[in-house]
Amino acid sequence: MGSDREKEARLLAPPGRPTAKVLVVDDEEWMRDACGQILQPEGFEVMTADDGQMGLDLARRHSPDLILVDLKMPGMDGIAYLESVKAFDPEVVAIVITGYATLETAVEAMKAGAYDFLAKPFKPAELRAVARRGLEHRSAAMRASALLRGDAPAPELHLAMLAHRFKAPLAVMRQCVGVVLEGCTGEISPRARGMIEIVAQRADQMIQFVSDWLTLSCLEQGKGLQEAKPVNVLEIVKTVVERAQQDSRAEKLTIRSEGAGDPGIILADSGALDELFGNLLDNAIRYTPAGGNVTVHVEADARAVAVTIRDTGPGISPEDLEHIFEPFYRGQAQKNIPGTGLGLPIVKAIAEGHGGRVDLETAPGKGSAFRVLLPRQHTERAVLAAPQGAARQQ
């Protein structure tokens, strides 16, 4: 079984970047295959087992970060499996997947140590979202564990401990609210449903805020970027665009990517670039009204690759431009749109950590265009350096 230090080496990276091992334990082959097809393109290493005993053997040998386990399996059921795994790996994040979604089974699974509960049938986006939340929870727990042993810099891990203390109760609250909204507790009135949905939305926003806060802090301390490796920017952009097109908020928008050929390979942290483009595209979707357009354009020359994300939203006022990259800053046009105020600071920090920059063209009523310039020629040291001026972003 992997040591705690090995697990931390895998997970002590900013949350939201899948670098984890996932074990799927389900007696149905189609479900195991489906989970693999959904999660592997996101960067997860997926292992599968068709029964509880095989799942225990794999868990002991490979120390997975996340476990997806079916509740109803012949022989060892999901509850017994969870109890056995938690006995030798208390920090593993387990997500129960089942077609038998009742209040009793949900409560029983959570008592046995399940982090979350996903009812069959579920959409690919739902599985990706719960897996990412589980990974973020696991990462925060490992950071807190390292702090207690004194194995990592105190400033970073004190923040990690604080973030973990916030996220753990928030996650439990969100799980319980989700169980109620799924109807596992019985019928609820339309008025009660509306109020509970507000609680769920606010909990999601707080969880995202804590994750973004921790990510930005790591980047400012020079801890947030992985080793530079050859990556194809166009492939990363395609993945981010495809993911955005599946977002329910994008159903009334036109999202497309365009470019002049393949920009080729650069040295970069692929997970960080995924987060950078993902944040910019998320911003564009949130601020573009129904019927609008979001365009992602990729171009390159011998010196650099440029990615421009353009929207047809309200644009940014001149008085907000000076502060747009400052942490927690929310311009007047953004006051009524949910957000953490940390997305653009993270974008700028990642770009500068790669030796690049972010340019902005905007005007009130005419939309915005964020252009990320990533140089081809830079050293690995530049990729791993602390970003300059990371405290100046939105």
Residues 15 and 64 in one domain: yes
Domain boundary among 200, 220, 240: 220
Residues 42 and 161 in one domain: yes
Three-state DSSP class for residue 98: strand
For the stretch 354-377, what's the b/e string if a residue is b when 16 or more beta carbons lie within 10 angstroms of its beta carbon? bbbebeeebeeeebbbbbbbbebe
Domain boundary among 188, 220, 252: 220
Residues 205 and 261 in one domain: no
For the stretch 103-126, what's the b/e string if a residue is b when 16 or more beta carbons lie within 10 angstroms of its beta carbon? eebbbbbbebbbbbbbbeeeebee
Instruction: Compute the distance between CA of residue 47 and CA of residue 55 in angstroms, rounded to an integer.
Output: 9
- How buried is 247 (Cβ within 10 angstroms: 0-12 exposed, 13-18 middle, 19+ buried)? middle
pLDDT of residue 48: 94
31 found inside a domain: yes
Print pLDDT tens along the chain (394 aa). Answer: 444 444 444 444 443 444 678 999 999 899 999 999 998 887 788 999 999 899 999 999 988 989 999 888 888 888 889 889 888 887 788 888 877 655 566 667 777 778 877 777 788 888 888 888 788 777 766 665 655 555 555 555 556 566 666 766 777 777 778 778 877 677 888 888 888 888 888 888 787 777 777 777 666 666 656 677 788 888 888 888 888 887 777 778 888 888 766 777 888 888 888 889 888 888 888 888 888 888 888 887 878 888 899 888 888 777 777 777 777 666 655 555 666 667 788 888 888 888 888 888 887 888 888 898 888 764 333 333 333 333 333 3
Instruction: Compute the distance between CA of residue 382 and CA of residue 355 in angstroms, rounded to an integer.
Output: 6
Q: What are phi and psi of 390, to 5 degrees?
A: -65, -15
316 found inside a domain: yes
Domain boundary among 220, 241, 268: 220
pLDDT of residue 46: 92
When divided into structural domains, the chain yields a total of: 2
pLDDT of residue 334: 57
Q: What is the pTM of this model?
A: 0.56
Residues 189 and 124 in one domain: yes
Structure tokens at 54: 């095989």
pLDDT of residue 8: 45
According to DSSP, residue 364 is labeled T
What is the domain range of residue 193?
4-220
Please check whether residue 271 is in contact with residue 43, taking contact to mean a CB–CB distance below 8 angstroms.
yes
The two counts, helices (H) then strands (E), for the chain are 13, 12
According to DSSP, residue 121 is labeled S
- CATH code: domain of residue 348: 3.30.565.10
390 found inside a domain: no
CA nearest 233: which of 319, 306, 293, 160? 306
Residues 237 and 337 in one domain: yes
- CATH code: domain of residue 136: 3.40.50.2300
